[in-house]
Structure 1
Amino acid sequence: MRTAHMLMAGLATALAGIGSAAAASPPVPPAVVEHGASTVTMDPVKVRAPHWRDIRGATDQCVDARFLRGWREDGEGLVVEVSPRRHAGNRYYRVETVGSCPDLGGAHAIQLASRNRGAAVCGRPGDKVVLLDHVSQGLAAMGTLPTGAFSRGCEISRVVPMPRH
């Protein structure tokens, strides 16, 4: 918003400078090119903002949920196994959750879900470990993510590749 105000102020200054022949007129900014008394062209404005679906960081810090092979819970939390061919040679990743995930031990299966319904789970806000029981696992097998009463899970805070052995 501030940039837009600065551009408008610069344009107004440039237009005032073009219309006035006085020696005391302010200098024309270098981004303004005069084509005639009534036409002024400015350099193109490029707006760059991160798109919320962009994956930040290296892809080895993300898990492609489509290639989840297995999972286990250890003393430090959740470890998932994925296809190493699809994950830069990494087979195991530690998935850290926001706080503890007490229902993880009672889950029959898990599913990793990204906030934007894509395959990449990177520990961004909204990424989640969905805990499945027998009923919700059947729903997941049909291609639907469990919702409502069938949806239990924990928000993911970080995904880290584990050292290769």
Structure 2
Amino acid sequence: MDRRLALTPLLVLAAASGAADRGPPPSPACADARSVVEMVQSDDHTLAVRLADGSRFRLDLALRCPGIADEPQATLVSPGGWACGRAQEAVVAGPRACPIAHVQRVDARTYASHAMAGARAGQPAVLGNVTVTGERRRGFVGSPSYCVNTNHMRGWSEDAHGLIVEVSPVRSGGHRYYRVELGAGCQGLTDAVHLNLVSRVGNAMVCGFAGDEAIFSGDLAASGVAGAFDTGRRLRDMPDAGRCPVSEVYPLERAEADEVASLRPAS
């Protein structure tokens, strides 16, 4: 079961007296601990964080710290507000403190892989640095960091790396385009007219879990099926529909998004 918490600004303990007093980052590889907006945990030794500017970092812990990012008051502690893998840097939650051994910048695909690893292991898919302000929502919720909501899709296209889908950025964490990677043998679908992304869990969130599918079809009207994105169950049962497993989902980096060409309409 996915547990998603209401996000509040991260409270970071730092040696510096205030944000205005600190200098530049000690290294380009350092993460701004004061602008963390999301934290995920892929295993007992590994966290990943997403910052307000969209950058992402992997944090390797020096100790085994199962579930540390799931603690309601999990806080990133770092001298000067920069997490670089130096001494006195840790993720702290109550009496627990997990020293940070190494920090590395990662791309959107790697970050999504960390989030999915945690979700597949039964850990929270969206974790960390937050305070609970209400009841946790039931069922799988997912995160725009590694899931695409098919209710907000506007268009799609195919290239050598899989699919690109366009969504409403207002409803997708500010992301306009997503990469949807498909299983082996699913290229060459340029003749398809319609695409339906189907979630394993039966809702609109497609993330790359086993059972998530991309279903392609040509002339749906000729088949007696209307609509490209709201007929997943019927499309799944069509014997001549092209089906491909979805293996990875993640938002496109800004440079990639700027190069997106024309897309097929969503319906």
Q: Cα gap change, 1:130/1:59 in structure 2, threshold over 3 Å: closer, same or farther?
A: same
Aligned to 1:81: 166
Q: 1:144 aligns with which of 227, 231, 237?
A: 231
Aligned to 2:140: 54
Q: Which moved more, 1:145-154 or 1:127-136?
A: 145-154
CA distance in structure 1 between the partners assigned to 2:177 and 2:205 by the alignment? 15
CA distance in structure 2 between the partners assigned to 1:104 and 1:141 by the alignment? 19
| Amino acid in structure 1 at the alignment position of 2:247 | S
Higher fraction of helix: 1
Deviation at 1:73, TM superposition (A): 1.2
Q: 1:132 aligns with which of 217, 242, 251?
A: 217
Residues 19-58 of structure 1: pairs in structure 2 closer than 5 A? 50=122, 54-55=140-141, 58=143
Q: Cα gap change, 1:113/1:89 in structure 2, threshold over 3 Å: closer, same or farther?
A: same
Q: 1:160 aligns with which of 238, 250, 257?
A: 250
Q: 1:117 aligns with which of 174, 198, 202?
A: 202
SS of structure 2 residue aligned to 1:93: strand
Q: Deviations over 1:92-132 (max 9, x none)?
A: 11100111313521211111110122100011110011102
Q: Deviations over 1:31-83 (max 9, x none)?
A: xxxxxxxxxxxxxxxxxx949x6356x43210001111111112322111111
TM-score (norm 1): 0.60
Q: Cα gap change, 1:50/1:77 in structure 2, threshold over 3 Å: closer, same or farther?
A: closer
SS of structure 2 residue aligned to 1:105: coil
| Amino acid in structure 1 at the alignment position of 2:241 | S
Q: 1:67 aligns with which of 152, 172, 175?
A: 152
SS of structure 1 residue aligned to 2:164: strand
Deviation at 1:151, TM superposition (A): 3.1
SS of structure 2 residue aligned to 1:106: coil
Q: Cα gap change, 1:141/1:161 in structure 2, threshold over 3 Å: closer, same or farther?
A: same
Q: Identity over aligned residues, as a percent?
A: 37
The structure with the largest alpha-carbon Rg is 1
TM-score (norm 2): 0.39
CA distance in structure 2 between the partners assigned to 1:98 and 1:76 by the alignment? 11
Aligned to 1:101: 186
Aligned to 1:24: none
Alignment root-mean-square deviation, CA: 2.6
SS of structure 2 residue aligned to 1:69: strand
- Structure 1 residue runs without a partner (length 5+): 1-48
Deviation at 1:161, TM superposition (A): 0.6
Deviation at 1:140, TM superposition (A): 4.4
